[in-house]
Amino acid sequence: MVATRKACKDCGSTTRKVTSPGPRCATCQRARRTNVSEARRLAYVAKQYNLTPKQYQALWEACGGKCMTCRRLRARCVDHDHKCCPGKTSCGKCVRGLLCGPCNKGVLGHLRDDPAAMRRCADYVENPPARLILAIDRLEGDP
């Protein structure tokens, strides 16, 4: 007797093994999880930041899916001006863009959106004080 495989609920394939616990093959299950996750994300963004899926997609395309500050990591965090809307929720008018978590929380959050502090950071990176101090130390002949 030949055992027959169940057909995938989405694609109908009988050649791919249906994964546990559901009636879908691994490929369709992975696609479904991605779609459900994206729908949850868009619902969260709509509730928290008052952005439509179309607006969120426009922001995503504007930054190419990368953080607007570091350009290295995937941008998922909606950044907004806390002076306009204190707290986690936003009116939608004060949204600034999409950032990665480390830039949104670690950089902007830590510096409390202070442009002067950000300029000091840029100056520190471009002109580290240790470079001058160590150069003077070398000139004085200390080993």
Could you tell me if 21 and 67 lie in one domain?
Answer: no
Per-residue pLDDT reduced to its tens digit, 84-128: 887 778 999 999 999 999 999 999 889 988 999 999 999 999 998
3-state secondary structure of 95: strand
Check residues 134 and 57 and name the one with the higher pLDDT: 57
Could you tell me if 36 and 9 lie in one domain?
Answer: yes
Residue 5, pLDDT above cutoff 90: no
Could you tell me if 60 and 117 lie in one domain?
Answer: yes
- Indicate which CATH number applies to the domain containing 79: 3.40.1800
Q: Which domain holds residue 105?
A: 50-139
Could you tell me if 58 and 126 lie in one domain?
Answer: yes
Note whether 79 and 96 are within 8 A (CB).
yes
- Tell me the pTM: 0.74
Could you tell me if 74 and 8 lie in one domain?
Answer: no
What pLDDT score was predicted for residue 2? 47
Could you tell me if 75 and 134 lie in one domain?
Answer: yes
Tally of domains in the chain: 2
Could you tell me if 38 and 70 lie in one domain?
Answer: no
Note whether 17 and 25 are within 8 A (CB).
yes
* DSSP string across 17-45: PBPSSSSSBHHHHHHHHHHHHHHHHHHHH
